[in-house]
Chain A
Amino acid sequence: MDRDSILAIIIGQVREVVPDLGAQPISGGDAMADLGVNSIERSEIVMNSLEAIGLDLPMVQTHGPRNLGELADLLHAKLNRT
């Protein structure tokens, strides 16, 4: 799975967990906090994304990225390492 497919999955999960964002454009440069996503929702988005791409990873290993694109990079790297 390539990095852009992973980013698309993450953005899809943001829209699933926070349907109130509606049609607002979301891209790799957006940070979840700036989109108004709270910490529990962030965890759910990451967890749902991990499941969707088939990665069983401790949540602590997903910490660090500053925006959705960096999260996609991280998950892409982890996926290719397994």
Chain B
Amino acid sequence: MPSSTAPEIVVTGIGVASGLGHGKDSLLEGLLAGRDVFSVLSRPGRQAPDGQTAFMGVEMPEPPDLLPKRVARTAGLGARVAISVLDEAWREAGLDDVDPERIGLVVGGSNLFSREQLLAVRDYANRLAFIPPRHGHVFMDSDVCGLCAASFAIRAFANTVGAASASGAVAVIQAAEALLGGRVDACIALGALQDVSYVDLLGFRALGALGSEKFAGQPGRACRPFDAEHDGFLYGESCAALILRRAGEAGPGYGSLVGAAQVADGQRGPEPDPEGQQRAIAGALAQAGLRAADIDYVNAHATSTPKGDEVERETLLAMGLEHAWVNAGKSILGHGLSAAGAVELAAVLLQMRAGRLHPIRNLEHPPEPGLRWVMGGPQTHRIRHALKLSFGFGGVDTALVLRAPQGENYGL
């Protein structure tokens, strides 16, 4: 990872899909506006067939048709969305000019197609002899890698990495390590769409992680990170691709990754661990050669679960980050699970370029002692150093430190 001697990593291309639309322009505009895109989930397989559920969250519009029809009909939603975000990022970063054997892909996420597997069980239960041959490879997460490498000239490596809701951030870390180790000259970190089924959502609900009983029937009010009325996370479809390069071999891009840390905190399940979170932040700051005082913006993990939000606030206070602006992408996008870390890192970089921070939706009664919340509307702010946190079930804590490109006019 970058240090005083190692080369820096820059992000030179971004592609995003979320409930706000396809493309990074829709993401930035919708975030700054704090647009409400929550509703009762309606994609097939998202509600129990007995009509006993009304899970709320965010679903994205259909991705653009970029694949040949014969390929598109065999690709799951998550795979088609991956192609869409990769296409956007690839073209922006000009990867057609890089040797394919020096381009790698790390896809963050595991168990990506569970909704489509549930639908397959439903559709073929009474005619098992006719399961389509393609099911033998498209049920695997690695189909995202295969489809991406079959559609774009990626010929170094392509594989997945699973770290629950920190998968997107871990993909970024592993992509950066592949660059710093000299394995590739460009590396794509893709936070994959986690296409959850109603069975997964029932599990989250039984676990006590999912909102929202308090705001049943009011999807737009249900997701409220850090607010006194928060009662759990809401699912949100999303996906993002980031193109990482070594600084000096590409322009300054959106900004530099100057510190990153991932720790295992020893928790098996969903319990947040303040020591692990602090260790991750301290590690990332040390790598960046920065102090907490240098961080002026924190993009929080902030899922809207009472315990998670509270532990994260304590972590930020304990680390001396009370001066930094704080916002939370999940308040607008919902929780993308495997995709969240990558999508929210994209949001950090887009806000860095725009010189504006998006508000935390539904934060009406923040806890005390507080942090420097972005509330009510967007905030003009020139980011110099940002901290991005992502945590995952199974005891994964990550922290990424980003530095804005140098230059008088950047982010103004």
Contact = CB atoms under 8 A, between A and B. Distances in A.
Interface of A: 17-20, 40-41, 43-44, 47-48, 50-51, 56
Contacts, number: 26
Contact of B133 (A43, A51, A56): A43
A54 B155 CA distance: 43
Contacts of B130: 47-48, 50-51
Contact of B68 (A20, A41, A51): A20
Contacts of B69: 19-20
Interface of B is mostly: loop
13 contacts: A17-B73, A19-B70, A19-B73, A20-B68, A40-B134, A41-B70, A44-B133, A44-B134, A47-B132, A47-B133, A48-B132, A50-B130, A51-B129
A20 B70 CA distance: 6
Given A17-B70, A18-B70, A51 B127 contact: yes
Nearest to B137: A40
Given A20-B68, A51-B127, A40 B133 contact: yes
A48 B127 CA distance: 11
A50 B130 CA distance: 9
Contacts of B68: 20
Interface of B: 68-70, 73, 127, 129-130, 132-134
Contacts of B127: 51
Nearest to A50: B130
Nearest to A17: B70
Contacts of A19: 69-70, 73
A44 B134 CA distance: 8
Interface of A is mostly: helix
A51 B70 CA distance: 20
A44 B70 CA distance: 12
Contacts of B133: 40, 43-44, 47
Given A43-B133, A47-B130, A51-B129, 16 more contacts: A17-B73, A18-B70, A19-B73, A20-B68, A20-B69, A20-B70, A40-B133, A40-B134, A44-B132, A44-B133, A44-B134, A47-B132, A47-B133, A48-B130, A48-B132, A56-B129
B6 to A, nearest CB: 44
Contacts of A47: 130, 132-133
A41 B311 CA distance: 52
Most buried by A among B70, B130, B132, B134: B70
Going nearest first, the 5 A-B pairs with the smallest beta carbon separation are: A19-B69, A43-B133, A51-B130, A18-B70, A20-B70
Nearest to A16: B73
Nearest to B129: A56
A26 B365 CA distance: 67
Contacts of B73: 17, 19
B31 to A, nearest CB: 37
B128 to A, nearest CB: 10
B131 to A, nearest CB: 8
B135 to A, nearest CB: 10
A47 to B, nearest CB: 6
Nearest to A56: B129
Contacts of B134: 40, 44
Contacts of A44: 132-134
B137 to A, nearest CB: 8
A14 B134 CA distance: 15
Contacts of A56: 129
A14 to B, nearest CB: 11
B310 to A, nearest CB: 51
A16 to B, nearest CB: 8
A49 B176 CA distance: 48
A44 B68 CA distance: 18
B120 to A, nearest CB: 14
Contacts of B129: 51, 56
B389 to A, nearest CB: 42
A38 B41 CA distance: 37
A18 B68 CA distance: 10
A43 B158 CA distance: 27
A41 B68 CA distance: 14
Contacts of A41: 70
